[in-house]
Amino acid sequence: MGVLNVTPDSFSDGGRYTSLDAALRQAEQMLADGAAIIDVGGESTRPGAAPVSEQQELDRVIPVVEALHRELDALVSVDTSTPAVIRACADAGAGMINDVRSLRRPGALEAAAGTGLPVCVMHMQGEPGTMQNDPFYEDVTAEVIAFLEQRVAACVDAGIPRDKLLVDPGFGFAKTVQHNLRLLAELSQLARLELPLLVGLSRKSLFGKVLDRPVEQRLAGSLAAAVMCVERGARIVRAHDVKETVDGVRFAHAVHRSL
Ligand SMILES: Nc1nc2[nH]c(SCCc3ccc(S(N)(=O)=O)cc3)nc2c(=O)[nH]1
């Protein structure tokens, strides 16, 4: 899953793809590099990020989804929590909903169910603006699993078939370095959910803290983490550096196929 940020303040490449043409070129390159999905986000959800208005999110995302659908044969995932954006993106040709808030906003479950699209639900406590203020867990992996089970049940109750759901532990969302490391070490336990596992670690501050690297020097750490996640059952890896991540994942698969 290649990351296409169309927000001016995204944590890793904010502002580079605000022009539609630049976004299309970047998407084309990620597909050429082996991405199966392009994840388009109009709201930055990095820690401390300011909330974005519904209209702002629509204005950023819809033209990109329309262009990607028109110009490229790509599965477009939309990173949004907003019911109006969920509906508009589905109409514009999006193929998947990726909601870091797991459809907890009023109307989001109904909007997603109405689109018939696959949905990724992800663990987060609180909101991006405050989620890193001293997050606490008795057992982070057990609590992440319990949260995901609850959101899966809510989606199924709202009419989203279970076979259209994916789960994601939400690395970097309301988690300390220790929580993220523990969650990665115990990632295999999420297999209990019996749903495809999506992970997003690319360039996150975890690598800055463990490896003391600035955001533009986190490729090696991100690749190590991607391979570890695949070895522990991840099926989709959300990444900025698609070409390199695809090679890492392909190599991990080759090793597993040798068994
Ligand atoms: N399914 C799914 N969707 C995602 N969308 C994003 S946007 C990244 C927001 C962010 C940036 C930076 C940090 S930090 N402080 O750890 O560096 C945290 C969160 N991420 C994910 C993810 O993982 N899954």
Ranges under pLDDT 50 in the chain: none
pLDDT, residue 3, reads 97
Name the average pLDDT for the chain: 95
- The ipTM value here is 0.98
Which CATH architecture group holds 2-257?
Answer: Alpha-Beta Barrel (3.20)
Q: Largest alpha-carbon pair distance within the chain?
A: 51
Predicted pLDDT at 39: 98
* Cβ–Cβ under 8 Å, residues 96 and 68: no
Q: What is the DSSP string of 156-210?
A: HHTT--GGGEEEE--TTSS--HHHHHHHHHTGGGGGGG-S-BEEE-TT-HHHHHH
> What are the backbone angles phi and psi of residue 3, rounded to the nearest 5°?
-85, 125
Main-chain dihedrals φ then ψ at residue 193, nearest 5 degrees: -75, -15
Distance between Cα 47 and ligand 1 center (Å): 9
Give the pLDDT confidence score for residue 11 in this predicted structure.
57
Decide: 80 and 40 in contact? Cβ < 8 Å. no
For residue 30, how far is its CA from the centre of ligand 1 (angstroms)?
Answer: 19
pLDDT, residue 7, reads 79
Give residue 13's pLDDT.
61
Tokens of 199: 């992970």
Nearest of 172, 171, 176 to residue 232 by alpha carbon: 171
CA distance 30 to 77: 14
- Asked whether 66 lines ligand 1 (CB < 6 A), one says no
Residue of 46, 101, 175, 204 marked active site: 204
Distance from Cα 200 to the centre of ligand 1, integer Å:
6
pLDDT score recorded for residue 18: 59
Q: How many Å apart are CA 121 and CA 2, to the nearest integer?
A: 18
Cα gap 181→7, rounded to integer Å = 28
Q: What is the pLDDT of residue 115?
A: 98
pLDDT at 6 (0 to 100): 84
Residue 4 Cβ inside 6 Å of ligand 1? The answer reads no
Are 57 and 85 in contact, with CB atoms under 8 Å apart?
A: yes
**Domain spans of the chain, in order of start:** 2-257
Total-model pTM: 0.96
Measure the CA–CA gap between 237 and 158, rounded to whole angstroms. Answer: 27
Are 140 and 182 contacting, i.e. CB atoms less than 8 angstroms apart? yes
Q: What is the pLDDT of residues 178-199, one digit of tens each?
A: 999 999 999 999 999 999 999 9
